Structure 1
Amino acid sequence: MDMNHALGNAYQRSAQPVPVHTRNIVHLHIDELGDISQWRAILAGGLAGISAALATYPLEVVETRLIAQNCKEPTYRGLMHSLSSMYRNEGLQALYRGFSLTVLGAVPFSVGCYAVYVNLDKLWQERHVRFTSLQNFINGCLAAGVAQTLSFPFETVKKKMQAQSLLLPHCGGVDVHFNGMIDCFRQVIKNKGVMALWSGLTANMVKIVPYFGLLFSCFEMCKQLCLYQNGYIISPLSYKLKPGVDQSLGPYELQEFKRYLRNRKSHKAQSSSIGNRW
């Protein structure tokens, strides 16, 4: 059995640190063998991300409004006041203003992550199952850096759309006034140039790059620990497969099989002891 396939099967059964709704969406895209292609995985992750964003997006809009408002003459006094005030004065659509940019921005973000992922073997000149914690940290940083750079223009316009409101002083403090997503892109480029779409990228990188690096390395470490605890690999510090272990078995099946072997060995020992007495 191919090592990547074996580790994939073992991981699917023994380490699944993903939300329930993500697993449900992934199950719609796996084949009869339990495998999923990279592009289907990206699609499943995108659908899961959109469903999560639908529930949390109003909180992101409120966060932007609270940051952008004038501290000397605050319009909003907190989370609940912001939500109720925006809903009462601007309607439900204000809480989802710029949401389409979250969906559009997910495309270059996913493509950037995928582009880095498929070239990691070439970068390190070895298979990804042999990566160290440091290599996984660097991989996460690289993936986040490329993906965030590609998707940042959508993030810039989204923040401006979230902050703008005709009911607030100076339209919410945004530096351009617009009538929609396309007009916002056009106004920013016309007034400040194309590079204004990446304004603030450096500050964002300082936050997001190490975050994804730690996330990537911690995820791989937890995955190795789960595989080791379930008996698939010889050490939590290595992906080397444990000899004699059927990697296609689920963790409970593997434990049952080990219990059967122990009982069988114990039964043989008892039978041998009784035979020696006679």
Structure 2
Amino acid sequence: MVKKDNRLTSSQSFACVAFAGFLSKSATSPLEVVKIKSQVGTFHSKGGFLQSFVRIYQNEGLRAFWKGNFASCLRLFPYTAVHLSTYRNIVHLHMDELGFISQWRAIFAGGLAGVAAALATYPLEVAETRLVIQNCREPTYVGVFRTISKIYGSEGLLALYRGFSLTVLGAFPFSVGCYAAYINLDKLWQEPAFRFTPLQNFINGCLAAGVAQTLSYPFETVKRKMQAQSARLPHCGGVDVHFSGMADCFVQVVKNKGILSLWNGLTANTIKIVPYFGLLFTCFEMCKQVCLYRNGYIVSPLSYELTPGVDQSLRPYELEEVKRYLKNRDFGSEESSLGNRW
């Protein structure tokens, strides 16, 4: 939904993504906190979705709903940058002479790109989980970087990558789910993708994300339990089962809690999708309009009405050069007419 526009500079594109990402992550943070606590299995989630909000508020106060939000926001940008660059490189490697790539190779490229991006930012995800599950009135960890440093110092480097193999396993059902959803939704609209309205793209994005996250959700649930489990935290991080490794965690969860417990927190996660993507899209477009107005492509920051006579295919620096040339030419002709009159 958030597509690159060549009329923005690199710094403007980054600023738009940063603004949209921070705002949408922060606005949906309470749902993310409830989701993570449900996945880990802390006592807050014992009464169901709505009761979780009440228990968190009663035990930790309002600020508890934004625990780990800075780590989540901080992780967004390197993750996106690594994912996009890796995906482009893998796709270029597998393209044929005419620039085509098979569907399954594209899915494989998406999965590998997700794994590479997760590898680069995984310690931030571990820090987010630890910050969310702790009681903020009696904190074990304070701050993102101090949390990473403390985990590294007390538990070693491997603790910062605990459960990473589940990211690898979950990346491919996620990619397959996204692809399958998009293919079927394209058929549902009965028109080519380039004719989709922003609303159609928004609906497609939300539904594809919902299907993909549901398919890969059991892997994320076990991963969160592994990230949270620590002998240095009260009640071993509040994890609701005891396990010795990844496979044992799956076995213990199914044995003690039932197979459906692998989808604990899915309600909060599903509800989060629409406001998250909605805010991401809306905030990006608002920020983009301001930048396009500053660059001279549109007549107002409140609408997309194009500036008359401006070539929209020009990049910002090219448009600036054209403006400078026209300004100098007009100034030169003005001087010439004054000289002739004199």
Normalised TM-score (structure 1): 0.69
- Partners of 2:170 and 2:216 within 8 A in 1: yes
Return the letter of the residue paired with 1:72: R
**Corresponding residue for residue 240 of structure 1:** none
Q: Distance in 2 between matches of 1:22 and 1:77?
A: 35
Cα distance change of structure 1 residues 212 and 31 upon mapping to structure 2, 3 Å threshold: farther
Does 2:174 match 1:109?
A: yes
**Corresponding residue for residue 229 of structure 2:** 164
- Partners of 1:140 and 1:213 within 8 A in 2: no
Query: Where do 5+ consecutive residues of structure 1 fail to align?
Result: 1-10, 230-235, 238-250, 256-278
Return the letter of the residue paired with 2:121: T
How far apart are 1:75 and its partner, in Å?
1.3
| Alignment coverage as a number of residue pairs | 218
Secondary structure of the 1:142 match is helix
Q: Distance in 1 between matches of 2:7 and 2:85?
A: 15
Q: Distance in 1 between matches of 2:111 and 2:275?
A: 22
Query: Where do 5+ consecutive residues of structure 2 fail to align?
Result: 14-80, 298-303, 306-313, 319-342
Can you list the C-alpha shifts for 1:72-107, whole angstroms capped at 9, x where unaligned? Answer: 332112222211111111111100001011111112
How far apart are 1:45 and its partner, in Å?
1.8
- Map of 1:1-278 to 2, 5 A cutoff? 19-212=84-277
Q: Distance in 2 between matches of 1:33 and 1:215?
A: 35
Secondary structure of the 1:179 match is coil
Q: Distance in 2 between matches of 1:215 and 1:123?
A: 25
Q: Distance in 2 between matches of 1:218 and 1:100?
A: 34
Can you list the C-alpha shifts for 1:147-166, whole angstroms capped at 9, x where unaligned? Answer: 11111111111111000012
How far apart are 1:127 and its partner, in Å?
2.5
Q: After superposing the two structures, state which structure 1 stretch, 33-42 or 205-214, moved more.
A: 205-214
Return the letter of the residue paired with 1:48: A
Percent same amino acid among aligned pairs? 73
Can you list the C-alpha shifts for 1:176-210, whole angstroms capped at 9, x where unaligned? Answer: 11111111111111221111111110111122344
Q: Distance in 2 between matches of 1:96 and 1:26?
A: 27
Q: After superposing the two structures, state which structure 1 stretch, 73-82 or 203-212, moved more.
A: 203-212
How far apart are 1:29 and its partner, in Å?
1.3
**Corresponding residue for residue 242 of structure 1:** none
Return the letter of the residue paired with 2:167: T
Return the letter of the residue paired with 1:205: T
Q: Distance in 2 between matches of 1:142 and 1:218?
A: 20
Secondary structure of the 1:118 match is helix
Q: Distance in 1 between matches of 2:168 and 2:102?
A: 21
Q: Distance in 1 between matches of 2:146 and 2:198?
A: 44
How far apart are 1:126 and its partner, in Å?
2.4
- Partners of 1:112 and 1:146 within 8 A in 2: yes
Q: Which has the higher contact order (CA 8 A, sep 6+)?
A: 2
Q: After superposing the two structures, state which structure 1 stretch, 200-209 or 175-184, moved more.
A: 200-209
